[in-house]
Amino acid sequence: MATEQEPPPSGRVSRRKLLGLGAAGAAVLGAGAVAARPLMNEPPPGAVAPANEPPGVGAAASAANEPQGAHAAPYPFYGEHQAGIVTPAQDRLHFVAFDVTTGERAELVELLQEWTAAAARLTQGREAGSFGAVGGAPEAAPDDTGEALGLPASGLTLTVGFGTSLFDGRFGLSGKRPAAMSDLPKFPGEQLIPEISGGDLCVQACAHDPQVAVHAIRNLARIGFGKVSVRWSQLGFGRTSSTSRAQATPRNLMGFKDGTNNLKLEDADLLREQLWAGAGDGSPWMTGGSYLVTRKIRMTIETWDRTSLAEQEQIFGRDKGVGAPLGRKAEFDPLDFAAKGPDGEPYIRADAHVRLAHPTSHGNAHLLRRGYNFVDGSDGLGRLDAGLFFIAYQRDPRRQFVPVQMSLARKDPLNEYIKHVSSGLFACPPGVRDAGDYWGRTLFEG
């Protein structure tokens, strides 16, 4: 498993070299060479942020003043936990689920090793393979597809997950399926489409540049040719959650601030308690990992857009402008479910979304949400095919996602405007420690 960049043959230029040349150097390359985009704010050589800690989080960053250059910089790939979970949610998503087509466990392990090596490079703004898009033999297919040449790392994170079907016995893993990964129940009203649900493996690519996220997934799929095939994939934009207090809260396609009351990077104690699988949880190989639930949720936006502002706010229990809980003034004011308005009714209705989903309604069950908006064109009937690609990480879906979603599915008036059409449940293993480690080692060698 090679992770070091081998020098490209003379006359050929690697993506990193192109970046290093910058604007002036690119001019020297002359016609025929690929022009490098000047890299803004590249961290100094050798600068290593603490594992998975975002550039720009800390004293220098504030919600109102996120450093622009930080959007180009890389996140560390190696660490105790995978990046892309508490990492401040980037602007863009390409999520893919794969079916494993090989029946050989050894081939699957080999693929995970190759993917890990490629991910270690891609997340640092390098090409997928050691020769790159234009550095290999002219007779051979390039080991990088090339569309990210000259682009910086753009905060790319790649997060892998193992689906429930991977534990079905094909690879000798049936005894390793975590109890926390019991099949999700059928929720009232869901209309799941099997072809865009499930999958043996998943990779979540998040970046500030969609081209960088798509490039990463495309290259992993290329590497996996003959061993895996793409089952479904989803593009997302405009993150619908903040996962750090240094980020401003974004808006979903219903126009509301989304991610206000979320688990955040800074909540160290809660993350330990609610996000990361522990050594005593029954599946030692998952220690330091987390369970991922995805739900593609279509919105009937046109109906929503004809709903009164007052009704929209009652449905969520927050105001649409600043995102404050109804009856309060500021976004981060605490929710007060007992407070009553002049009419004697609670400001936040009994069936308001935030009340049904609140941790206190479910024995202190928190979720780390990091979903994205999607618009997949239109449906041929004059309506946008749009909604929320919901992503939530947690320590145990049986105690967290399932009860929250069951209560929403039964009582949330938002259901009039939404439909769950896809579902996924994945075990995301702990982080890759160093260049000798690989995604899933604790599962296959533990």
Ligand X SMILES: C=CC1=C(C)c2cc3[nH]c(cc4nc(cc5[nH]c(cc1n2)c(C)c5CCC(=O)O)C(CCC(=O)O)=C4C)c(C)c3C=C
To the nearest whole angstrom, how small is the minimum distance from the Cβ of residue 263 to ligand X?
A: 9
Q: Provide the greatest CA pair distance for the chain.
A: 79
295 binds ligand X, rule: CB under 6 A: yes
The contact mask relative to ligand X for 362-401 (x = CB under 6 A, - = no) is: -----x-------------------xx-x----------x
166 binds ligand X, rule: CB under 6 A: no
Among 354, 386, 425, 443, binds ligand X (CB under 6 A): 354
Amino acid in the structure at residue 244: S
Q: Which stretch binds ligand X (CB under 6 A): 49-57, 88-96, 349-357, 423-431?
A: 349-357
The nearer residue to ligand X, 182 or 211, going by C-beta atoms, is 182
Burial of residue 247 (CB within 10 Å: 0-12, 13-18, 19+) is: buried
Q: Under rule CB under 6 A, which residues in 213-252 are in contact with ligand X?
A: 252
Two structure tokens written together for 18: 């192109």
Three-state secondary structure call for residue 233? strand
Two structure tokens written together for 348: 């936040």
Among 61, 254, 368, 428, binds ligand X (CB under 6 A): 254
Kindly compute the dihedral angle of the four CA atoms of residues 357, 358, 359, 363, in this order, to the nearest 10 degrees: -70
* C-alpha span between 168 and 162 (Å, rounded): 12
* C-alpha span between 26 and 18 (Å, rounded): 7
Among 153, 408, 428, 432, binds ligand X (CB under 6 A): 408
258 binds ligand X, rule: CB under 6 A: yes
Q: Which stretch binds ligand X (CB under 6 A): 86-94, 212-220, 256-264, 338-346?
A: 256-264
To the nearest whole angstrom, how small is the minimum distance from the Cβ of residue 359 to ligand X?
A: 6
* C-alpha span between 151 and 211 (Å, rounded): 9
The nearer residue to ligand X, 135 or 424, going by C-beta atoms, is 424
Amino acid in the structure at residue 240: T
User: What values do phi and psi take at 24, rounded to 5?
Assistant: -65, -45
Enumerate binding residues for ligand X (CB under 6 A): 252, 254, 256-262, 295, 297, 299, 316, 318, 335, 353-354, 357-359, 367, 387-388, 390, 401, 404-405, 408, 418
